[in-house]
Amino acid sequence: MRISITVQPGNILKSGFLAFAAAAIMTALPMPARAQGSYPARPIRLVVPFTPGGVTDTSGRLIAEQLSKRLGQQVIVDNRPGASGNIGTQQVAAAEADGYTLLLGFDGTMVINPHVFDKVPFNTLRDFAPVGKIGDAVLILVANPGVPATNLKEVIALSKSQPAGLSFGTSGTGGTPHIAGELLKMRTGANLVHIPYKGGGQAMTDVLGGTIPLVYTAVAGAQGHIRSGKLRAIAVSSSQRSKSLPDVPTFMESGIAGLGDFEINSWVGLLAPAKTPKVVIDRLNTELNAVLNDPEVRDKLNVMGISAAPGTSDHFSEAIRRDLARYGQVVKAAGIKAE
């Protein structure tokens, strides 16, 4: 079918002027505004501020792979480790706000580092636009089977009976498990002594060997030892029981005064530089939620110990603000400083 368009001679000048004006307006628009309609038009870089191989990196690679399929452009993982995540995080804060550089944000970096370091090269609330939370990693308190305590009440009572206290290991100073342990001390008066390790692996080795009595860690790294009987599960600090360990009670189920709202998870999510256009944030949030609602993706995250948590960017932003404030209070009260 042919379509003919006839332009009257008197309208040629007018048509040319309109075309020129439209071109001028498009040229005057900032680059992000011009790119929104076709976003994404090129590959996206996802900065992971940690070394390859950890749970944070693995979850980021899974999400990058799935987002690539939905966006029609490759999402490339770029590991930028250093300074407990501060280096890679700062690089995203300074990147162009066009939606082509994203951050795999981790609670330790985003809401704890600003309090435990004397200075960090970014401002969590000012420098980032939250896209959405990926999920929560449930934390658990575990004990060597030789410890004469089988539940949280008994652990707290045992700690108070020992002048030197009861030691609990974590993956390091200022991490979410450390914060959780300090909050437990503040809420219950437990006589717990923090033993920081350079990563969770050695802490797990020492609690299995009986060198230390307790470890606060992520469920993913402990569940195999719990099922085999090599470790005793005390409680999880999530609001609901872990799907992978449904017989283990939550801290809030322990009935201890002061633990009625005790909920601490380690989370991971996507963020973009501040001032990234809202239409880009909305597109990314929509596709991220679609990925997280995929049963296969949810199952893979569960294996990593992460419960998928789809939601709005505003909800994620509120969670960041809340954790930044409440963890700051714990860090100040406990006098925690980065080593």
Phi, psi of 75 (to 5 degrees): -100, 110
Q: Give residue-wise pLDDT tens across range 160-187.
A: 999 999 999 998 899 999 999 999 999 9
**What integer is the mean pLDDT of 20-27?**
45
Tell me: cis bond preceding 40? Omega within 30 of 0 counts: yes
pLDDT the model gives residue 103: 98
Could you tell me how many residues make up the chain?
339
3: confidence class by pLDDT, cuts 50, 70, 90: very low
37: confidence class by pLDDT, cuts 50, 70, 90: low
pLDDT the model gives residue 258: 81
9: confidence class by pLDDT, cuts 50, 70, 90: very low
Residue 131 contacts residue 320 (beta carbons within 8 Å) = no
Q: What share of the chain is helix, strand, coil (3-state, %, to 5)?
A: 45, 20, 35
257: confidence class by pLDDT, cuts 50, 70, 90: confident
Residue 10 has pLDDT above 60, yes or no: no
Across the chain, mean pLDDT equals: 89
Nearest of 46, 44, 40, 170 to residue 106 by alpha carbon = 46
Which regions of the chain does DSSP assign to beta strands (E)? 44-48, 75-79, 101-106, 128-143, 166-170, 192-196, 214-218, 232-236, 265-273, 306-308
Pairwise pLDDT comparison (242 vs 90), residue with the higher score? 90
**What integer is the mean pLDDT of 264-285?**
97
**What integer is the mean pLDDT of 84-105?**
97
Other Cβ atoms closer than 10 A to 322: 11
DSSP classification of residue 108 = I
SS3 label, residue 189: coil
CA distance 223 to 210: 18
For each of the domains in the chain, give its residue range(s) and CATH number, in order of start.
42-136+266-334 (3.40.190.150), 138-254 (3.40.190.10)
Pairwise pLDDT comparison (251 vs 34), residue with the higher score? 251
Nearest of 202, 199, 209, 194 to residue 141 by alpha carbon = 194
pLDDT the model gives residue 310: 97
Residue corresponding to tokens 């005390």: 234
Residue 5 has pLDDT above 80, yes or no: no
pLDDT the model gives residue 255: 83
Q: Give residue-wise pLDDT tens across range 211-229.
A: 999 999 999 889 999 999 9
CA distance 42 to 30: 17
Q: Over pLDDT 90: what percentage of the chain?
A: 78
Q: 278-292 and 295-303 are packed helices; what angle lies between their axes, rounded to 10 degrees?
A: 80
Which two tokens mark 165? 């206290």
